[in-house]
Amino acid sequence: MSFAQFYQHSIDHPDAFWREEAKKIDWHTPFDQVLDDSRPPFAKWFVGGTTNLCHNAVDRWVGSRGDAAALIAISTETNTERSYSYRELQREVERCAAILLSLGVARGDRVLIYMPMIAEAAFAMLACARIGAIHSVVFGGFASNSLASRIDDAQPKLVFSSDAGSRNGKAIAYKPLLDEAIRIAAHQPEHVLLVDRHLVTMERVEGRDVDYATLREQHLEAQVPITWLESNQVSYVLYTSGTTGKPKGVQRDVGGYAVALASSMQYTFCGKPGETFFATSDIGWVVGHSYIVYGPLIAGMATILYEGLPVCPDAGIWWSIVEKYRVTRMFSAPTAIRVLRKHPVELMRKYDLSSLKALYLAGEPLDETTSQWIAGELKVDIIDNYWQTETGWPILSVARGVADTPTRLGSPGLAMYGYKVKLLNESTGEECGANEKGVLVLEGPLPPGCLQTVYGDDQRFVDTYWSTFADKQVYSTFDWGLRDADGYYFILGRTDDVINVAGHRLGTREIEESISSHPNVSEVAVVGMEDKLKGQVAMAFVILKDARPAESTEGRALLEREVMAVVDRQLGAVARPARVLFVPQLPKTRSGKLLRRSIQAICEGRSPGDLTSIEDPASLQYIKAALA
């Protein structure tokens, strides 16, 4: 069957398609109805069926693969490494579940997980799933105000945390941040469960704070049965990064998510039991939920949980892991690959990477230069994919597990099965033709695994995602895109990152792509800055491959003219930036996304806003200095 036929079957016959896909997981009781979409835009999948994420990720493999590797926890920060078999993982999860139960956590209660990338973080997520508690993972090190707002929204019975994380050998104390967050939060969790890594000294609050290691010793022989949940009960809440004001909690179900992950592990990521999956993300992001913890384990694979930088102790560390654990599928972000490209290629070439079959990249657009370089070095398929926290699994990619569909440079791929992807004209709402720019939307009902609603706020779910077009109810991704004649999609940037220059609407991503084609441009961020005459003008901030030509005023002026000329040629004078400024670093989140709104705010003399997720605060000073 061709992928086109496979896709069309999923769209024309969703009941039959997803009924078959549901066989990929274990059900305690069968479902009565594949889909209930009687109350759009809300959808319920596999209605009446009971299942459990922890059972499908761990327990069901113990009988057949009990001694096989399941979770491989590696920290180059603490120079520790531990591999857990499926049987060992089950025991640790049961111990953790017993601890949660002993502290009063019950089915439906929320547990906020504020942890570094250590094995206990995965135990905590799986233990919550096991007993029917709802986990909400917050990226370790988030600032107290942001953490407090999530505590107030999720209202957790318990917070599971640690003394500290570590980055580049430097301990980052979590406990003071957590204590302050709880102090300013209206909701007060009953307990704080702490893993003491002995990285920093911790002060404990009497009666509230409890030690994980001590309680683990008390529950070494614990056996905690699976709590079977109806498919549409809540598995977790994950707050989208960069939210302002009241946090926006993406709420996920149990059964639909399990089926979607099992399906995507086969068709998109081509994972097989006994192989090893290495996603370089963090459990604080959706990639960590879907493709570090749940997806690979549901597929019977070993999954790698990595704490550390891609360049420490040197830029060969990831490739040493690939060699040692015979990694077959790897998932990372374009930014990380661009970082590695700056280091000697011998650090990659000295390892045996013959086990690796594909590298998947997501989180931001994949530029042609980066894609071609890493493909040339690894000699494997480089597969882009596009999705969101809200969808939980890829919207666009190529499903090599269905058919040998070719990739296309600059495109994350085709619409994935189950997703009714459309491009709509922002003014008329009409569907766009080939190579016409429009807003990327999804027709309802959303496929299994996507968000059910915004946690605690159904109306916000409708107003935020389903109300972009007055005359039709479609889910907006808030991304511009276009589709070529062969059905490949290209993402052009956020609809809310549009620059309106003298009545001309320009996507920042289009200008960035043009500037990136200059031979001396390594990275670029384009933002719109308020202008009294034109409404907005484009400002470009560029990292050079070779910064020496920009060391003099004359050299910078020459380079700026060259870059502007490139944009003139490719997009026309209307898209030419007002200024092209050269910086050694751009402000990004820890997951590698550019903080465009913070850059824009600095350009306009405003506060850069919530910077809890910024990688290096010094990068903002470079923006300010360039503007001076």
Kindly list the domain boundaries of the chain, sorted by start residue: 3-308+385-464, 502-627
User: What is the DSSP-derived secondary structure letter of residue 57?
Assistant: I
> Dihedral, CA atoms, 21, 27, 29, 34, nearest 10 degrees?
-20
**E strand spans, 79-157:** 80-85, 110-114, 134-137
CA distance 138 to 69: 27
User: What pLDDT score does 504 carry?
Assistant: 65
Pull the structure tokens for residue 411.
């495109």
Q: Which CATH superfamily is domain 502-627 in?
A: ANL, C-terminal domain (3.30.300.30)
User: What pLDDT score does 505 carry?
Assistant: 64
CATH C-level class of 3-308+385-464: alpha beta
> Please, which residues have CB within 8 angstroms of residue 499's CB and are 6 or more apart in sequence?
505, 506, 507, 508, 511, 526, 527, 528, 536, 537, 538
User: What pLDDT score does 487 carry?
Assistant: 97
User: What pLDDT score does 596 carry?
Assistant: 86
Q: What are phi and psi of 312, to 5 degrees?
A: -125, 130
User: What pLDDT score does 242 carry?
Assistant: 37
> Please, which residues have CB within 8 angstroms of residue 474's CB and are 6 or more apart in sequence?
422, 424, 441, 442, 443, 444, 466, 468
> Please, which residues have CB within 8 angstroms of residue 355's CB and are 6 or more apart in sequence?
276, 322, 323, 326, 327, 328
pTM: 0.86
Within 10 A of 170 (CB to CB), how many other CB atoms are there?
A: 10
Q: Give the residues of the chain that fall short of pLDDT 70.
A: 241-245, 496-498, 500, 502-505, 533, 610, 612
The alpha carbon dihedral of 115, 121, 126, 131 has a sign of negative
Whether 82 contacts 266, CB under 8 Å? no
Q: Strand, coil or helix: what is 440?
A: strand
Q: Strand, coil or helix: what is 304?
A: strand
Region of 291 on the Ramachandran plot (φ > 0 left; ψ -120 to 50 alpha; else beta):
alpha
User: What pLDDT score does 244 carry?
Assistant: 41
